[in-house]
Structure 1
Amino acid sequence: MAELPGLAQADRPLVVLADDDTAITSQLAPLLERSGFDVLTVHDGAAALTAATALPAPDLMVLDVLMPHLDGREVLRRIRQAGVWLPVLLLTQVGESSERAMALEEGADDYLNKPFDPYELTARLRALNRRARRGLPPLASARVLRAGPLRLDRAARRAWVAGREVVLTPKAAALLDYLVTHPDELLSRERLMEVVWGWDSASTTRAVDNRVAEIRRGLGDGPGMPQWIETVTGEGYRFVPRVEAER
């Protein structure tokens, strides 16, 4: 493993920022540093792979898809194959559903489409870091997740509560998957629209509310005293229970 001595302070998570676009890194790195992160910037896939397996180990990685030497997806695959489970936020190029699904299936913990809001990226890194520091296992790479009596088979898109199968439409199942893999994170309706429906959808954010209502009916949840999905007025939704990967 490579060694990168003295890069991070004890109370500041170290982020590897991997993007060959210097216009992005020159603006994003100072913002992340002002937000409480230490930042190591690299500009190609080979350097990103080296940084991901370095000592001291980084806490988080922002990984662009299109980079010289190794593309971001290949870097991500090699990181996961090596058993390195640092949280990775993937920067993708298009908003199609296949692109989003591929990003998550290949082991990304989250993703953003370019162009993106730097402050949203910062907020997502904070959420990933909170989960990692609480000792939670990597949820996005797990096939089966549990949250109390809820069991979610992500590959099959099937869910059960206390052994009873929850029958959901495909959109509601995809929405539940994203909520469960991002527990205790406030997710805006716009973000959920992007993830489940895509930028090119003619649907409105009301579609999110309808699918959340469908999930709540299936789980036996209520908006007044939610056991599963909390409504944050004017903001979005939060999945409440602790989530664990099934061993």
Structure 2
Amino acid sequence: MQILVVDDDPLACEMTAALLEFQGYTTIMANDAMEAVQHLDNLDTIELIVSDMHMPLINGIEFLEMLREQDVFLPFILLSGDTPEPELLQTPGLNACLQKDAQLTSTLQHAVTQALNG
């Protein structure tokens, strides 16, 4: 099982992937939504997507909406440097929206477990 990590900040992408790998998951990294779509087209082992919210061209919510329009219904976790707005948490198809903060290790582990088992 693989988790696709999408973030335009290479360091943040690597850190998120490292957190997930420490928890026993295999990760694939993408620098933007278009690269992520290529991975999704080429690999059928991806079971979850963890995406940054603020990316150029296509942000995390737009990426989620684009996937849903293409009938891709993988669990989707959004990460943001900002405190998530309450209405963002109500986005259809979004399993979790987490703030990139000191608690990300535990909150991400919990959200991934819930998304994969839910």
State the TM-score, normalizing by the size of structure 1.
Answer: 0.43
Q: Does the CA contact (< 8 Å) of 2:51 and 2:77 recur in 1? A: yes
Instruction: Report the alpha carbon displacement of residue 106 of structure 1 after superposing the two structures with TM.
Output: 4.0
How far apart in 2 are the matches of 1:35 and 1:114?
Answer: 17
Larger radius of gyration between Structure 1 and Structure 2: 1
Bigger fraction of residues in helix = 2
Q: State the match for 1:84 in structure 2.
A: 72
Aligned pair 1:108/2:99, yes or no? no
Name the amino acid aligned to 1:79. L
Identity %: 26
Instruction: Report the alpha carbon displacement of residue 93 of structure 1 after superposing the two structures with TM.
Output: 4.1
Q: Does the CA contact (< 8 Å) of 1:18 and 1:63 recur in 2? A: yes
Two-structure CA RMSD over aligned residues (Å): 2.0
Q: State the match for 1:126 in structure 2.
A: 113
How far apart in 2 are the matches of 1:93 and 1:49?
Answer: 23
Contiguous gaps of at least 5 residues in structure 1? 1-12, 132-247
How far apart in 2 are the matches of 1:21 and 1:118?
Answer: 18
How far apart in 2 are the matches of 1:25 and 1:80?
Answer: 23
Contiguous gaps of at least 5 residues in structure 2? none
Instruction: Report the alpha carbon displacement of residue 113 of structure 1 after superposing the two structures with TM.
Output: 1.8
Q: Does the CA contact (< 8 Å) of 1:43 and 1:67 recur in 2? A: no
How far apart in 1 are the matches of 2:36 and 2:115?
Answer: 19
SS at match of 2:87: helix
State the TM-score, normalizing by the size of structure 2.
Answer: 0.83
Structure 1 stretches of at least 4 aligned residues deviating more than 4 Å after TM superposition: none
SS at match of 2:46: coil
Instruction: Report the alpha carbon displacement of residue 114 of structure 1 after superposing the two structures with TM.
Output: 2.8
How far apart in 2 are the matches of 1:104 and 1:50?
Answer: 27
Q: State the match for 1:64 in structure 2.
A: 52
SS at match of 2:74: coil
Q: Does the CA contact (< 8 Å) of 2:75 and 2:93 recur in 1? A: no
SS at match of 1:77: helix
